Chains A and B, each alone.
Chain A
Amino acid sequence: MEQITFNSEHLLIGNLGNLFVLLSFASAILTAFFFWKATNNDDSGFWKRAGDYSYWVHAVSVIGIISTLFFIIYNHYFEYDYAWQHSSRALPTHYMISCFWEGQEGSFLLWMFWQAVLGGVLIFNRTKWKAPVLSVIMLSQVLLSTMLLGIEISDAFTFGRSPFVLLREVRPEILSLPVMQMRGIPAADYLKVITDGTGLNPLLQNYWMVIHPPTLFFGFASTIIPFAFAVAGLWRKEYTSWMRPALPWTLMGVAVLGTGIIMGGIWAYESLSFGGYWAWDPVENASLVPWLILVAGLHVIVLNRASGQSLMLTYLLLIASFVLVLYATFLTRSGVLGDTSVHSFTDLGLSRQLLVYLFLFMLVPVFASFKRSRDRWLALGVVVIILVINVIVGRFLFGVNVILLLMGLIALIRNFQKELPLSKKEESVYSREFWMFIGALILILSAVQVISTTSIPVMNKILMQASSFWAWLADATSIELFDSFAKGTLAPPNEPVAHYNKWQLPISIVIALLTGYGQFLRYRKTDDKRKLFSEIASVAIISVVLTALVVWLAGFDQFLHWILLFAAFYSIFGNILYVITGLRGKLNLAGGSVAHIGFALMLIGVLFSGGKKEVISINTLYNYGENFSDEETRHNILLYKNEPVIMQNYEVTYRGDSTKSPDNFYIVDYKHLETGETFTLYPNAQISREMGLTANPDTRHYLTRDIFTHVSSVPNKLEPREEWLSEKMHEMNIGDSIFVNRHLIILDSVEQVEGTSISADLEGHSMQIATLRVIGADTVYIAKPLYGLKDGLSAYNVYSFAEKASIRLNYFPKEVDGEIVHEIETAIKPKDYIIMKAIVFPYINVLWGGMIVMLVGFALAIRQRMAHNKRS
């Protein structure tokens, strides 16, 4: 095939980018290796220095990749697939940064960036933990950078996906577009046709989407530090002393990942139209689970530092939180969620690499736990052989790999027990550590529940491996469930929210109670039980009274809601009392208590805004027939332009729309029927061929409630509209009536007149005038369509309009068997309208306030732990 030289491409910059990718990969391997050597040879400064230098090379190349990619996007080099797919000329500069997280390659890059930043902080660490911790982080960096490599191994398999691939390489069809053939443009000049990119998803063009993904990825990246410290502890056989430096990092991970998740919730509430801040979507769940486990890990570190208990659990939780981050990444990026989540990424062919990443990091702690390096190499050998078998067979051998992981877990526990036999110390149920341990277990339960439901699509794939077994079991037991195991047809619950609440509501009750009560206990043993009981009782009494009051005022009718309310009040007052009596009001020590209070406030906020949420746009205009009697599903109302509609306590009027590209704003006036208060909301929607209608809500905020409004549907202005629609003929007798476009139309009379009585031009015509009454809700129009005959032939007819009713009427008399039949033709003019949904969220500010209080608590705790580490 002849070589084409393509014109006006900027290839240099892409080559530079690819060079940085290769450099970042190579330097990550070297840095990991150097710090590994440095860990095993403590005395030698050489490996440490080498590690430092190659780390900086790595950091510079990561910055290099990011800058090159940004340069390409900024200069609109659409010959690059990434720029073409994720940006456009119209995109404002401040949203260009969001292009980084629309594509998978860019979001891996973001993750790498944060991991490199964290490495950059740890590189200045002067302790013995620096080398092993950085070695682990850089190993993760190696695996992340493979995602960007883009080296073609075979036709079917490319190793990684470079953000610098050219559009024509990914989609060769653009070289022979019909339009190019039409205009006689040769393939070499294809860029003359590719003048703009396809643009950034409108959902990402939102300020929350500028800050939410980087925060979330920072949180994901920061979970590796506690993981790396735990591995370092196993590696150096110093099983507990790593916890002190790891604790502030764990707190930071909890705080940052928590902030990221919360921002996601605010983004969903502010700019998505599903009507809430949390939908139990798999993608949300996937970030929640590592957080829950990290929170549990945090509590277990604290309790271990104080009492020496639960060491094994500390390791398992800190390791699990990073492994779960990898699992979350696999879930959202491998395409496995496909049919169950609306906003996961599509598969870029990276799922195999992600699985290797996941499995390898499950095994890293196992390698580290072996005492003799011979055993380590042996274990590594087994893993490599199994990996190679997977590659040779060309498919993921699930059973074998799971057995490998189980063996790994057993080896980890065994190695661990050889070194540190489980504590045989007496334990007291009157100790704080016992209840913190219980709390950690409850958090694990919460995580298990979320992950097992979220993993249903993964379970389909796993269970299918033993398809014939399940088929046999289905036959033997005739349980339908086993049949779906065999076929891999399991689907998420039909009512996800109810399903999750069923478990998470009791779990949050227990957690809230534990946070309110645990702190009154002392570590090891609480001697003064009389004081303890009086504290518990006084908090309980206040909480019962307040709960009763709130239940009565707000009208909660579910028993579990009462208990949750009680538990949350208990937590708030318990922690306040603890700060006053236990800590003598020293707020700088009260990080934990403040975070607990924040969490309890969030529970109250969720209970009100979720449990007492009320859709006020109930559609009551129509009777849907017996099959559709379910009022609950009628949550949207139709608003015609300038026609007020009563919606609960409000009169709402749609006033028209205005466009400020790319947004269409719909102007909706609200008027409170009793107070007369008026305000206007501007819910907007972006309409595009690619995404359809993307509705952004507008919300009226009050201190005690929000009125949340979004459009659900609007007339499609992309399609040219017929002016008159639904033409229909009706046969009518005098006095008959029909119902059209919410108006009653009655044929009152038909009279015959001479043409000249209407106009001199109509001489010789015999005219028929039909008189129709068009009766609306509060108006009556008279319409008089004409029909004229000349010499027995239909020669003339004139429409009559009931303009405000948007009805056009025409009259056609017909002779059937000597009788005159009156035929009326009706047509309607579509009016401008919106279909809108409005929800009242009461006390949602308690939720936001609780979030802020919780984050303040984390910040206080980090400050205190850092100060503590510095002092000692």
Chain B
Amino acid sequence: MKPSHIAILVVIAVAIAIVVGTYGDASTFKSFSEAAKDPNKECYVKAELVKEKEVVYDAMVDPEKFTFYAVDSQGEERKVTCLQQKPFDFERSEEVVVVGKVQGDNEFLASSIQVKCPSKYENEVEDI
């Protein structure tokens, strides 16, 4: 066996380890109730902002905390506390992806959030 063959075998083994490692580190998209089953594990939840309920943010009290209510794809509503500064104009967003875990009985504690705003065009029609 030539040294280069050994090297190729080693590299293939490491590559497999990397791919397996990737899926070991991967997180999952869950619903709120699934997230509640495993309260210590961080996961992703895709949800819609409940616009009727108030988004609470007081920069004077805590610039890096805001709370809102969101409904997941199963139709379950939960209060979400996000430990970040509130994204600007957050109230107008529709879909949010929160990363975090369920804490206590109800609340979802998010360490990061991604916001999907309605497309530019829809605003424009409203504004005209």
Q: Which residues of A contact B (CB under 8 A)?
A: 85, 171, 173-174, 177-179, 193, 198, 339, 342, 346, 427, 429, 434, 437-438, 441-442, 444-445, 448-449, 452-453, 456, 480-481, 484, 489-494, 499, 502-503, 619, 622, 624, 627-628, 630, 633-638, 687, 689-693, 712-714, 716, 718, 741-742, 830, 833, 835
* B104-128 interface bits toward A, Cβ cutoff 8 Å, 1 = contact, 0 = none: 0000010100100101110111011
Size category of the binding interface on chain B: 35 or more
Known interface pairs A481-B23, A492-B27, A690-B120; A437-B86 also in contact (CB < 8 Å):
no
**A627 CA / B65 CA spacing, docked (Å):** 12
Residue in A173, A449, A634 whose CB lies within 8 Å of B18: A449
Cβ contact within 8 Å between B28 and A85: no
B86 touching A445 by the CB < 8 A rule?
no
Q: In the complex the two chains form, is B60's CB within 8 Å of A342's CB?
A: no
- Name the CB-closest residue of A to B107: A627
Q: Tell me if B89 and A693 are in contact (CB < 8 A).
A: yes
Smallest distance from the beta carbon of A481 to chain B beta carbons, Å?
6
Q: Specify which of A179, A484, A830 is in contact with B128 (CB 8 Å cutoff).
A: A179
Asked whether, in the complex, the Cβ of B19 is within 8 Å of the Cβ of A452, the reply is yes
A residues within 8 A CB of B42? 494
A81 to B: closest C-beta gap in Å: 10
- A689 and B120 CA atoms in complex are apart in Å by 8
CB distance A198 to B86 under 8 Å?
Answer: no
Beyond the given pairs A453-B22, A492-B26, 7 more chain A to chain B contacts, judged by CB atoms under 8 angstroms and listed by A's residue number, are: A441-B11, A449-B18, A490-B28, A628-B65, A636-B85, A693-B89, A713-B86
Decide if A85 touches B4 in the complex (CB within 8 Å): no
A859 to B112, CA, bound (A): 42
Given the complex, which residues of A lie within 8 Å of B2, measured CB to CB? 427
Does chain A have a CB within 8 A of B44? yes
Question: Cβ of B4 and Cβ of A687 under 8 Å apart?
Answer: no
Say how far B24's CB is from chain A's closest CB, in angstroms: 8
A170 nearest in chain B by CB position: B121
Tell me the smallest distance from the CB of B30 to a CB of chain A, in Å: 7
- Do the beta carbons of B99 and A494 come within 8 Å of each other? yes
Binary CB contact string for chain B from 74 to 114 against chain A (1 if under 8 A, 0 otherwise): 00000000011111111000000101000100000101001
A692: contacting residue among B46, B89, B128, CB under 8 A: B89
B28–A484 CB distance below 8 A = yes
B25 interface residue, CB < 8 Å from A? Answer: yes
CB distance from A499 to the nearest CB of B (A): 5
Contact A444 B11 (CB under 8 A): yes
Note all chain B residues with C-beta closer than 8 A to A638. 59-60, 63
Known contacts being A493-B25, A741-B60, is A712 close to B85, with CB within 8 Å? yes
Assembly CA distance A434 to B102 (angstroms): 52
What's the Cα separation between A452 and B16 when bound, in Å?
11
Provide the residues of chain A in CB contact with B18, threshold 8 Å.
445, 448-449, 452, 503
A503 and B21 form a contact (CB under 8 A): yes
- Residues of the A chain whose Cβ atoms lie less than 8 Å from the Cβ of B26: 453, 456, 481, 484, 490-493
Residues of A within 8 A of B111 (CB): 633
Q: Are B83's CB and A628's CB within 8 A? A: yes
**A489 in complex: contacting residue of B4, B28, B119, B124, CB < 8 Å:** B28
Contact A635 B64, beta carbon cutoff 8 Å: yes
By beta carbon, the residue of chain B nearest A480 is B28
B3 contacts across to A, CB distance below 8 A? 427, 429, 434
Q: Is the CB of A452 within 8 A of B22?
A: yes
Known: A627-B103, A692-B87. A427 touches B4 (CB 8 A): yes
Which B residues form the contact surface with A (CB < 8 A)? 2-4, 7-8, 11, 14-15, 18-19, 21-30, 42-44, 46, 59-65, 83-90, 97, 99, 103, 109, 111, 114, 117, 119-121, 123-125, 127-128
Instruction: List, in ascending order, chain B residues with CB within 8 A of A171's CB.
Output: 121
Chain B residues lying within 8 Å of A712, measured Cβ to Cβ, are 63, 85
Whether A636 pairs with B14 at a CB distance below 8 angstroms is: no
Q: Are B89 and A491 in contact (CB under 8 A)?
A: no
Can you spell out 6 A-B residue pairs with CB atoms less than 8 angstroms apart?
A427-B2, A445-B15, A637-B63, A693-B89, A712-B85, A833-B60
- Whether B120 and A198, one on each chain, are in contact in the complex, defined by CB atoms closer than 8 angstroms, is yes
Nearest A residue to B99 via CB reads: A494
Interface majority SS (helix, strand, loop, mixed), chain A: mixed
Give how many A-B residue pairs fall within 8 Å (CB-CB): 145
CB-based contact B125/A438 at 8 Å? no
Residues of A within 8 A of B8 (CB): 441
Residues of A contacting B29 with CB < 8 Å?
339, 484, 489-491
Contacts of B4 in A (CB 8 A): 427, 434, 437
Contact, CB under 8 Å: B27 / A636: no
- By a CB distance below 8 angstroms, the chain A residues around B87 are 692-693
* Nearest residue, chain A, Cβ from B10: A441
- Cβ–Cβ contact A342 & B114, under 8 A: yes
B-side contacts of A619, CB under 8 Å: 63-64
Q: Which of B29, B61, B87 has the most CB of A within 10 A?
A: B29
Taken together as a complex, chains A and B put the C-alpha atoms of A638 and B114 apart, in Å, by 23
B114–A193 touching, CB < 8 Å? no
CA distance A444 to B19 in the complex (A): 13
| Known contacts A198-B124, A452-B19; is-contact A689 B89 (Cβ 8 Å) | yes
Residues of B within 8 A of A448 (CB): 15, 18-19
Contacts of A342 in B (CB 8 A): 114
**In the complex, what residues of B have CB within 8 A of residue A503's CB?**
18, 21
Q: Which residue of A lies closest to B16 (CB)?
A: A448
On whether A491 and B15 interact (CB within 8 A), knowing A624-B62, A638-B60, the answer reads no
Q: CB distance B23 to A490 under 8 Å? A: yes
Residues from chain A with a CB closer than 8 A to the CB of B88 are: 687, 692-693, 713-714, 716
CA distance A502 to B63 in the complex (A): 32
Asked if B7 and A441 make an inter-chain contact with CB atoms under 8 angstroms apart, the answer reads: yes
* Contact pick for B117, options A429, A481, A636, A692, CB 8 Å: A692
A484 surroundings in chain B (CB, below 8 A): 26, 28-29
A80 → B minimal CB distance (Å) = 14
Residues of chain A contacted by B25 (CB below 8 angstroms): 453, 493, 499
Q: How far is the CB of A426 from chain B (nearest CB, A)?
A: 8
Q: How far is the CA of A712 from the CA of B44 in the complex (A)?
A: 23
Closest to B90 in A: A692
Known: A339-B114, A452-B18. A489 touches B123 (CB 8 A): no
In the assembled complex, which residues on chain B have CB atoms less than 8 Å from the CB atom of A627?
Answer: 103, 109
Whether A491 touches B62, Cβ cut-off 8 Å, given contacts A177-B128, A692-B87, is: no
Determine the chain A residues whose CB is within 8 A of the CB of B11 once the complex forms.
441-442, 444-445
With contacts A441-B11, A689-B127 known, is A491 near B27, CB below 8 A?
yes
Known: A198-B120, A499-B25. A438 touches B7 (CB 8 A): yes
Taking the closest CB of chain B, its distance from the CB of A548, in whole angstroms, is 30
A512, B104: Cα distance in complex, Å: 48
**A-B interface, 6 closest residue pairs, ranked by CB to CB distance from nearest:** A693-B88, A692-B88, A489-B29, A491-B44, A491-B27, A493-B25
Cα-based distance from A420 to B94 in the complex (angstroms): 59
Q: A474 → chain B, closest Cβ, in Å?
A: 12
Residue of B whose beta carbon sits closest to that of A742: B60
Nearest Cβ distance between residue A585 and chain B, in whole angstroms?
Answer: 33
B60 cross-chain contacts in A, Cβ below 8 A: 638, 741-742, 830, 833
Nearest CB of B to A300, in Å: 12
Given the interface pairs A689-B127, A693-B88, A713-B88, the reply to whether A437 lies near B7 with Cβ below 8 Å is yes
Instruction: List the B side residues contacting A693 at CB < 8 Å.
Output: 87-89
The distance from the CB of B46 to the nearest CB of chain A, in whole angstroms, is 6
CA distance A653 to B28 in the complex (A): 43
CB-CB nearest in chain A for B127: A689
Contact A622 B85 (CB under 8 A): no
Measured between beta carbons, the chain B residues less than 8 angstroms from A85 are: 120-121
A835 vs B86: C-alpha distance when bound (angstroms):
11
Whether the Cβ atoms of A835 and B124 lie closer than 8 Å is no
Shortest CB-to-CB span from B108 to chain A, Å, is 13
Contact of A835 (CB < 8 Å), options: B14, B63, B97, B114 = B63
Q: How far is the CB of A567 from chain B (nearest CB, A)?
A: 18
| Cβ of A777 to closest chain B Cβ, rounded Å | 14
Tell me whether B114 and A713 are in contact (CB under 8 A).
Answer: no
CA distance A502 to B25 in the complex (A): 11
Task: Give the distance to chain A from B85, nearest Cβ to Cβ, in Å.
Answer: 4
